[in-house]
Structure 1
């Protein structure tokens, strides 16, 4: 098991925003040991993916400068289909992200947050 990123099913990029549909494959390395009886996607992985896709798709600065707000509300389980929404604010240098899913016309927010980004020398 060496896979670290989900399968991107669809992406819609309209800078400074992006919406991705992701399959959180059960064979992602981050599920190992987190937890053996009830695997779930670690919060640090969710933050890492939000930053990774923002850098790749929105060309935001790559240096993580801190979190302002973070909420982990519902676990993300293996093989889940989720939506990652990204919004970049150039003026404040902040990235807002949200992981959500839809089931039976009900939207579940799994996690959301706001991180401060910058260049490595800031």
Structure 2
């Protein structure tokens, strides 16, 4: 088993606030998360694909009920996310359009944001 497979893949959740169609999840991303490995040796930075994976994971847990991510739009990476910095992932669910609007925020800035469309894959 490689070192990567043994690594943790989800951030530490320190608080969750839920209201109608919205969840705010306070996260801390420890430096030993799998997503930080090799990205980058001199200064660890949370890759965008890791951020999207967490939106899909937490979106499934709180809203999507078995639907899959079928499209990502309006994706913007505005600032770098570093290890051990508290971040809040805000996900708003639009059931009519089957989409999740998300943003990662903290320290007075927006790290990234976008829209994830949910659906099923036709085989």
Counterpart CA distance in 1 for 2:50 and 2:103 is 13
Superposed CA offset, 1:44-88 (max 9, x none): 000010111011122444311111110001010011100000001
- Report how many aligned residue pairs link the two structures: 118
Q: Does 1:50 align with 2:55?
A: yes
1:77-88 pair list within 5 angstroms: 77-88=82-93
TM-score normalised over the length of structure 1: 0.90
Superposed CA offset, 1:73-114 (max 9, x none): 101001110000000101111110000102xxxx11000000
Counterpart CA distance in 1 for 2:44 and 2:11 is 15
> 2:3 maps to which residue?
none
More strand by share: 1
SS at match of 2:96: coil
Counterpart CA distance in 2 for 1:15 and 1:30 is 31
> Which residues of structure 2 form unaligned runs of 5+?
1-5
TM-score normalised over the length of structure 2: 0.89
1:4-43 pair list within 5 angstroms: 4-43=9-48
Q: CA RMSD in A?
A: 1.5
SS at match of 2:86: strand
> Which residues of structure 1 form unaligned runs of 5+?
none
